Amino acid sequence: MNSKQIRSHFIDFFQSKAHQFVPSAPIVVKNDPTLMFTNAGMNQFKDYFLGNENPEHIRVTNSQKCLRVSGKHNDLEEVGVDTYHHTMFEMMGNWSFGDYFKKDAISWAWELLTEVYQLPKDRLYITVFGGDKADQLEQDDEAFDYWAQLVDKDRILFCSKKDNFWEMGETGPCGPCSEIHFDMRSLEEIQKIPGRALVNEDHPQVIEIWNLVFMQFNRFADGHLKELPAKHVDTGLGLERLVRVIQHKSSNYDTDLFAPFIAKMEAISGFTYGESEKIDIAFRVIVDHIRAISFTIADGQLPSNNKAGYVIRRILRRAVRYGYTFLDLKKPFLFNLVPVLAEKFGEFYPEINSQQDFITKVIQEEELAFLRTLDKGLKNLESIQKGLADKNETTIPGEVAFELYDTYGFPLDLTSLIARENGLSVDEEGFSAAMKAQKDRSRSASKLETGDWIMVNDEESSVFVGYDTLEATAQIIKYRKIKDKKKDRFQLVLTETPFYAESGGQVGDTGTLSNDEERITVLDTTKENDLIVHWVSALPKNPEADFKGEVNADKRRLIKSNHTATHLLQSALKQVLGDHVQQKGSLVNDKILRFDFSHFAKLSPEELLQVEDIVNGKIRENIALDEKRNVPIDEAKAMGATALFGEKYGEQVRVITFNPSYSVELCGGTHVEATGEIGLFKIISESSISAGVRRIEAVTAKGAEDYVNKQFALLEEIQEALKNPRDLVAAIEGMMTERAALRKEIELLNQKATEKIKETLKSEVKSFNGYNLILGLIKLPNAEALKKLSFELKNEIENLVAVLAADINGKPQLAIVVNDLLVKDKGLHAGNMVRELAREIKGGGGGQPFFATAGGKDSSGLPIALEKAETLLQQALK
């Protein structure tokens, strides 16, 4: 079977067992503060396990795209080095939400593996939970007994909590699990060592392929366990590993999931996979990473310098760096693999096909940017090596290696590799210490302690009524305490709420909760999975009382204007630029709207004006809102509704329409009743935020009026300052022309003054042991003049060492220039010397052996620096 057939057989099998197929959730997680990426098939079903939401189907199956490169599940450094870890992988699974449990899960797993896939039974081993004294849990005899009806007992192993007890996180649903392992070794090896001895021993050929998790308990913050009211099944079968087993391959990378990528890389690089271990690792890193990069971009997460975007950028740069170092690929190459990805995965994951061009361009631009950074980093490393050589040292300090990693994306292994090639080493302990310090700072900055939920009300679900009203009377279902660096706060869940929770780019509502006894401010409203959470600064005195929730109406009104304007803006952009425009992010609050979209060129003033005109035209048309709730997703798509890549939509969706021929979108946000309420739309900026993505910021309603009024006020001030000229533009152009002429005149005067200073310094040259010294205390107009003067002196005087102490507009600067022969013969190093002298002016600096500069805060130290320089030079030139 090929990989497509293997995936299809899994889904078909469980559909035959009355499971509903559910498409993969986006790989980038939203509305879950505990996760950055989907790292397991169960992530999209968390609310069912947590009891926050009732499932639409009690049995489901799917193949979920997952990413494990951060947090608890971090496989990045193993990827490529071994043959079975991956960044992005597919987790096939079947779930039961309070329906079947261990017996059916076990029997169906065995049936699928041995009858459908026809895996040999004598190669399979089973592990079950062996109990844990700390949690007061007995071994899972129930699972053992079910397995014993299917498998020889000597193939069933009791294992520890570490291997056979699955937990969602530090708190939450958890339970014992049964893993299914497969022994891929030769008969000769099996006869020497039985497979059961190698299960869970990280043997590359005795591997886990399927994990059956039995959700029985809820873990609380203090560590204790409590039985869940309903028991669930959550299974995960790794597609890559199963394909490897079925196709009789010794490596995941030899399967048809990766072979086409490796063939393409062989054509690109000229190297052959299997030639050497270093080259093979590079191939594996690249063909693994292109999947993670492409799927995350398709789901709306672009490479960037923070959070999820930084993780993706790091993965991309790791792939580029392996190609650069081991395959001699000095130009972008990763982007050439995207068509292979579309061919291999586009049928099952159509988002790859529909965005192929966009993904390709983003990756290519990112590669170009990193190659430039890599080149800078290599030059920086050369300078570091020279500095060490000058001091007769052979170890790159750990903090320097970390700076290369943090600033230029140089991982430790690359720095170490280059160091070894040049007879140097790296202080790896110092690097680790610097890395730990950064992680500690990051953890400290974002540390959030979350208490357990305290139940107040037996009501199971919370209802959002905020589309229809800004007020509602409700009770508290549960609350918990939150501690972070700000202060203690509380989160409340209400039976009914008018507060919109932050999602889809729209900020959360604020307002109040009140009754006759008290009034509490709602600071923010957020979503945790699908749970609406209200942030308050204080816990109500009586949590069991009724409360009237009131949304800040003025703020909501402005938010609605901005949100509806983003819909009108997106349609206008498509009309002006083309259908390739896709939303890539947004922010909607009461002050501004920000809209990110796919486009590879800066918008011209004419295009921006055209977009503005279209949007304002739609506002003047006063188009009424057509809102449809609970529309079947297929019906909504048939209506032409625009869906956002990377969003997870349910079977029923909300459709927002402002004229069916203009704007039809799937959206959960709040909107005006008619476009005329927006009043005015004004674009205030257009910029690039990453490769292939532009950003427009705009204001509406009162914000737009204020912006226009401020612009007019500024224009009036300028006119008054220029004595109200008839032609303001001509007056400003005349001033600019006059200013340019004056600057040129000043520059000529400065040049003459500098030339005079140079002649004076040349007349004061001191000779010492055949060398020429200049020690000058001077005044100059700018730093560029100091640099120019230094090099002119060097070119005009032989065997020169010049130390210039300059007052530049009241700020002290030092410049040292050294003849190249003196650098070579006497070991003089301008950079080292200027760092020493900079102490006298309370500053710092550095540079190359032949030229270096420093700046400081204390001009009174300039004469002292010159005296010190003379002493140092006399010692060095003896």
For residue 74, what pLDDT is reported? 54
* 38-52, 334-348, 794-808: least confidently modelled range: 38-52
pLDDT one-digit tens code per residue, 698-735: 999 999 999 999 999 999 999 999 999 999 999 999 99
For residue 686, what pLDDT is reported? 97
Coil, helix or strand for 222?
A: coil
For residue 423, what pLDDT is reported? 83
pLDDT at 520 over 70: yes
For residue 563, what pLDDT is reported? 97
Higher pLDDT residue, 536 or 419? 536
For residue 70, what pLDDT is reported? 54
For residue 80, what pLDDT is reported? 84
One-letter amino acid identity for 792? E
Contact between 851 and 791 (Cβ < 8 Å)? yes
> What is this structure's pTM?
0.77
- What 301-309 contacts at long range (C-beta under 8 Å, 24+ apart), as own/partner pairs, is 301/27, 301/28, 301/646, 302/362, 302/584, 302/689, 302/690, 302/691, 302/693, 303/362, 303/366, 303/690, 303/691, 304/689, 304/690, 307/36, 308/28, 308/36, 308/37, 309/690
For residue 228, what pLDDT is reported? 87
For residue 449, what pLDDT is reported? 78
For CA atoms 7, 13, 17, 20, the dihedral sign is positive
CA distance 671 to 558: 10
Higher pLDDT residue, 658 or 420? 658
For residue 502, what pLDDT is reported? 95
pLDDT at 86 over 80: yes
For residue 169, what pLDDT is reported? 75
For residue 113, what pLDDT is reported? 98
For residue 484, what pLDDT is reported? 75
pLDDT at 238 over 60: yes
**pLDDT band for position 444 (50/70/90)?**
low
pLDDT one-digit tens code per residue, 812-864: 999 999 988 888 777 889 989 999 999 999 998 888 889 999 999 999 999 99
pLDDT one-digit tens code per residue, 209-220: 999 999 999 888
pLDDT at 579 over 70: yes
For residue 442, what pLDDT is reported? 66
For residue 368, what pLDDT is reported? 93
As a whole number, mean pLDDT of residues 167-171 equals 81
As a whole number, mean pLDDT of residues 56-83 equals 80
pLDDT at 655 over 70: yes
pLDDT one-digit tens code per residue, 544-560: 999 999 999 999 999 99
Contact between 151 and 110 (Cβ < 8 Å)? yes
For residue 49, what pLDDT is reported? 84
CB neighbour list of residue 591: distance below 8 Å, 6 or more residues apart = 558, 699, 703
**pLDDT band for position 447 (50/70/90)?**
low
As a whole number, mean pLDDT of residues 441-464 equals 77
**pLDDT band for position 657 (50/70/90)?**
very high
As a whole number, mean pLDDT of residues 324-345 equals 95
Q: What is the mean pLDDT of the chain?
A: 91
pLDDT at 529 over 90: no
As a whole number, mean pLDDT of residues 118-123 equals 96
pLDDT at 565 over 70: yes
User: Mean pLDDT: which of 299-308, 458-467, 696-705 is highest?
Assistant: 696-705
**pLDDT band for position 75 (50/70/90)?**
low
As a whole number, mean pLDDT of residues 62-89 equals 79
pLDDT one-digit tens code per residue, 372-418: 888 777 788 888 888 888 788 889 999 998 988 877 767 787 788 77
Contact between 6 and 40 (Cβ < 8 Å)? no
Question: Considering only CA atoms, which of 239, 221, 654, 668 is closest in space to residue 452?
Answer: 221
